[in-house]
Structure formats: structure tokens, C-alpha cells
Amino acid sequence: MKSPYGMLLSAIVMCLTALPAAAHHSVAVNFERGEPIEIRGTVKEVHMRNPHSQYVVTVRGEDGAATDWFVEWSDRNSLVRRGVDLDLIKPGDTVTFTLWPSQRLPNVGYFVQALLADGSVYRDCGFVQYREAVANSAKFRCEEGTRDPAQRATQ
Amino acid sequence: MKAPIRTSVLVLASCAFASTVRAAGTRADLDGVWLFYGSQVPKDPGLTPAGREKLEQYDPLRDDADTDCKPVTFTNIMHTPSPPIEIRPHDGYIEINYEFMDVHRRVPLDATLANAPYTVADHPHMGRSVGRYESDELVIETEDVEAGYLDTLGFPGLPQSAQMRTEERFIPDGDRLRVVVTHHDAVYYVAPMVMTYEFIRVDTEIMPWGCTLEGANYDKRLEAAEPK
């Protein structure tokens, strides 16, 4: 798309009253998108699927009791389209997840980012960044979504 | 052929050719894959008392049909930002493929709603649709939808009755597309309720969705925990 269209579209969007959440369920309705929380645990299950991906993470409390957390993420197709490496987190990995907690259910949160065992941050750059790249005919890259050395070289 | 007759024939042929070119141009403008770029949703949708009551009853954990891998409505699908929409005009019908939930819609042109087939063969709850061109715009009318909820995303919990009639007006402008959707439903709305969607043309292909119940619903979590 030519840049004048992109500029015009940006102006239009600024005038629009509402953008929905970046997932098919309303994230705004189901999750508290204020101050995120952190959990650290062992990844038990990985499900990259539509309409929602999910990690099941076993978190141990101070008393040693284990609790399973359900970490919801975007749909698989969107993550693939935005170049996110779906295999970076595997069962057995120890990961610190940053989450928006569920408004209604305990031990449920929406994925914001993950701190991997090697200290790198893993996240999806998101629909809005992808959409703006498309609108401005720019190549979309999300370095935080992959461990590809070429992609992460600019970090 | 005498000159006046020949002239008339030429004029008529020119008009027919111009009409054909215009129609082809319209179809070419719509043809492609489109990505959601924003929406306008009324802050006050103008609900009747019955509509307000239905809205208050809405529970996103249980009333969102998407959680059963069942697409809610076209209004709701267009509020799903990431999965793109593919529009392919054909002779006599329009094909619209929504990546979300693998919804494949066929809209006959110049037909009547009464005789129209279900617009998505495997989802009759989405109603029957017919389309027509008005100048450069494609207009699709839909009726015979299932009562329930119209929107679980842009304005979660907006209801729809079985009497709802919807007009979608597709307005292409180069690499931009605006879709103005007008919902007529006197059961739940005091006046026609309008939502507007913006799209941009994208160079991509529709991917299979393959909705999984495990990925769509909250049952597992509901079983694991009592609500807060």
C-alpha cells in the first residue's frame, strides 16, 4: 500500500472509537489488562492452536504445593503470520510468564511475554504492529518472537 | 442497416460495454484479501428494554458461541482483527471466505431472500443472504438468523432476535475497503444500529483455521476452578 493511503488510514483510525481485543474472545472482558503479574514454573503442556493457544504451567508455592496455571495466547494462525517461533517453549522448560490475570477465574492469565531460561524475552509483537507494517508497505519483523540469529541481530 | 438504426445499435452497444466494464471494475476492486483496520461501534446502541435485559444476562464464559467453535455472526467475525477475509466475485454470486472459523459464504446476486440458500451451508444459524451491486458498492442483505447474541467482541453481549435483518454495504476504494453494517431489529433496538469496519488489502492467503474445542472453550478451566 502506498504511503499516502497509509497516512490517511492512520488518520481514520485515530478517529475511530474502538478497537477490539487482539483475540477472538474479548481480552478486555476476560482479562485485567492493568498491572500484569508474573508466574514462574515448569511448562507441562504446549498447545499452539486456534482460536487460542495455551500453555499449562505447573507452579510450586512456598509450601511446595503444585498448582497448574492456564496461560492463554493468541490464535495459531496469527502467531505464524507474525513470524513467531511456536517451538521456542517446550514441555519441561522453566519459564517466567508475565500475564494479565483473568477477571473471573483463578490460575488463568493471558500471555504478555515470557522470560526464557537463557534470559531472552519471548513475545508476540502483536496485531497492531503487524497491521501498521502492512499498511505502510514495510517488512514486518518481530525479533522477540524468534531465536533466529539473523532476526535477533538487531537487538 | 440504415444510418439511424446503426447509430442506435452502436450507442446501445457502447452503453452495454460501458456497463460491463463498470461491473468488472467493481468486482476487481473488491477482489482480494482484506485485513481488519478498525471499527466504529456505537457507544449507545439504542436498546429496547428487552434488549437491555438480554445484554445484562450476557455471560462471556457461557454465551459466546465461539467457545463451541460456532461462528456467532458476520458482525462478530468482522470484529475479529487478525484473521483476514477473502472476497472473490464470480458471475452470479459473491464468495466470501473468512479465515476465522473456516466460514465459507456464498451470496447469490439478483436473487430473492425467500429463495436464497443458507449463506454458509454448514452454519444455517447465520441466515440467508442475497447481494446486488449499487454503483461501485456491493450490498448484501441477510435474514433468517438464529436468535442469540450479535456481538461478543466489539460490543460484547449485543443481542439479536430472529427478526433481525442486516444490510452490509461493501465500499471499495483502491486498497481500502469500508463495510457499513446496518442492523434492523425492532425487538432489541429502538432504531437501526450501524457499525462500520475498515479494511486494508493484504498480500496474503487465507489459512485453514481448524477450530479446536479445547482451544475455544473454558470448560477445562471451569472444571478446575470455581469462579472468583
Together in a domain, B53 and B15 = no
Q: Which of chain A's residues have a Cβ under 8 Å away from the Cβ of B81?
A: 19-20, 22, 127, 131
Together in a domain, B111 and B165 = yes
B66 band by pLDDT with thresholds 50, 70 and 90 = confident
- The answer to whether domain A3-13+31-138 has CATH 2.40.50.140 is yes
Q: Which of chain B's residues have a Cβ under 8 Å away from the Cβ of A5?
A: 174-176, 200
Q: CA nearest B196: which of A126, A19, A6, A128?
A: A19
Q: What percent of chain B shows pLDDT beyond 70? A: 83
pLDDT at A23 over 50: no
ipTM over 0.85: no
Together in a domain, B47 and B16 = no
CB pair distance less than 8 Å for B99 and A77:
yes
Of the partner residues B39, B81, B175, the one whose CB lies closest to the CB of residue A16: B39
Among A15-24, B54-63, B65-74, B165-174, which is the least confidently predicted range? A15-24
A3 band by pLDDT with thresholds 50, 70 and 90 = very low
Together in a domain, B4 and B81 = no
Strands A37-47 and A53-60: antiparallel
Together in a domain, B6 and B81 = no
Of the partner residues A13, A17, A49, the one whose CB lies closest to the CB of residue B37: A13
Please, which residues have CB within 8 angstroms of residue A8's CB and are 6 or more apart in sequence? none
Of the partner residues B83, B176, B207, the one whose CB lies closest to the CB of residue A9: B176
Residues B138, B94 contacting (CB under 8 angstroms): yes
Burial (CB < 10 A; 0-12, 13-18, 19+), residue A18, is middle
Q: Is B125 helix (H, G, I), strand (E, B) or coil?
A: helix
Domain ranges of chain A: 3-13+31-138
pLDDT digits (tens, 9 = 90+) for B15-50: 444 433 334 445 569 999 999 999 999 999 999 999
Together in a domain, B81 and B2 = no
pLDDT of residue B222: 55
Together in a domain, B12 and B39 = no
Q: What angle do CA A24, A134, B107 make, to 5 degrees?
A: 55
Together in a domain, B102 and B3 = no
Angle between helices A3-15 and A127-135 (to 10 degrees): 140
pLDDT at A34 over 90: no
Query: Count of A–B CB contacts within 8 Å?
Result: 133
Q: What percent of chain B shows pLDDT beyond 90? A: 68
Q: Is B43 helix (H, G, I), strand (E, B) or coil?
A: coil
Instruction: State how far the Cα of B30 lies from the Cα of B52, in Å rounded to an integer.
Output: 37
* CATH number of the CATH domain containing B51: 2.40.128.20
Instruction: State how far the Cα of A20 lies from the Cα of B38, in Å rounded to an integer.
Output: 8
- Omega before residue B71 within 30° of 0, cis: no
| Total number of domains constituting chain B | 2
Together in a domain, B18 and B77 = no
pLDDT at B10 over 50: no
Together in a domain, B16 and B93 = no
CB pair distance less than 8 Å for B215 and A47:
yes
B160/chain A closest Cα distance in angstroms: 19
pLDDT digits (tens, 9 = 90+) for A101-145: 988 788 999 999 999 988 899 999 889 999 999 888 888 888 888
Q: Is B164 helix (H, G, I), strand (E, B) or coil?
A: coil
- Containing structural domain, residue B18: 1-30
Q: CA nearest B74: which of B104, B29, B51?
A: B104
pLDDT of residue B32: 96
B163 band by pLDDT with thresholds 50, 70 and 90 = very high
A21 band by pLDDT with thresholds 50, 70 and 90 = very low
B76/chain A closest Cα distance in angstroms: 9
Of the partner residues A1, A18, A105, the one whose CB lies closest to the CB of residue B175: A1
Q: What is the pTM of this model?
A: 0.81
pLDDT of residue B6: 54
pLDDT of residue B28: 62
E runs forming strands in chain B? 32-40, 85-90, 93-98, 103-108, 128-134, 137-143, 148-151, 158-160, 165-173, 176-184, 193-202
Together in a domain, B198 and B91 = yes
Residues A48, A79 contacting (CB under 8 angstroms): yes
Nearest CA in chain A to B153: A26
Together in a domain, B8 and B83 = no
